[in-house]
Amino acid sequence: MSTSELEHVEAFAALVEALELRYFSAVELMFIGHSHGNVDHPAYGLNPLGPGKLWDNIRPAAKVADCLREASGGLLTILSANRSPAYNRAIGGASKSEHMSFSALDLRSDTWSAAKCFDWRPWRLQNIPPH
């Protein structure tokens, strides 16, 4: 990792630290997707850490995810976070996916069904579309 890449990662880590999340780390929130690292996938290498101008966009989703993790009482795994447009296309993401603006997180709960997460009230009060 180059010095500028390291500074980029450290700046993101500082932003996440300021959110005072209980459960999620910067490393989890900058998850770039399994296909990015899969040499056999058409999306291989297409999802570098997104530009800093988008980072603020993840704040609401990160806060809600942290609260959902608390409420569900179990592991909550980030399956998808930021996506470059090229990466989003290669994995068949929606053409206007909010992942491209780093404002959406795909999550999997080990304790709650997808339907229960979807119906979880604070999610709706924050007016953040489940993804």
Question: Residue of minimal CB distance from Zn ion?
Answer: 131
Collect contacts of 44-53 with beta carbons under 8 A, ≥24 apart: 46/84, 46/86, 46/87, 46/90, 47/82, 47/83, 47/84, 47/86, 47/87, 48/84, 49/5, 49/8, 49/9, 49/12, 49/82, 50/82, 50/84, 50/102, 52/8, 52/11, 52/12
Rule CB under 5 A: which of 90-119 touch Zn ion? 104, 106
Say whether residue 28 binds Zn ion (CB under 5 A): no
CB of 112 to Zn ion, least distance (A): 17
Q: Which amino acid would we find at residue 71?
A: A
Q: Does position 89 bind Zn ion by CB under 5 A?
A: no
Position 131 contacts Zn ion (CB under 5 A) = yes
Nearer to Zn ion, 41 or 131 (CB): 131
* Residue nearer to Zn ion on the CB measure, 30 or 104: 104
Nearest to 80 by CA among 51, 49, 43, 107: 107
* Number of residues that this document lists for the chain: 131
Q: Closest CB to Zn ion among 16 and 104?
A: 104
| Minimum distance of Zn ion from residue 106's CB (angstroms) | 4
For the CB of residue 35, give the shortest distance to Zn ion in the complex, in Å. 14
Q: How far is the CB of 22 from Zn ion (least distance, A)?
A: 23
Q: Which two tokens stand for residue 16?
A: 């996440």
Which residues of the shown chain bind Zn ion in the complex (CB under 5 A)?
A: 104, 106, 131
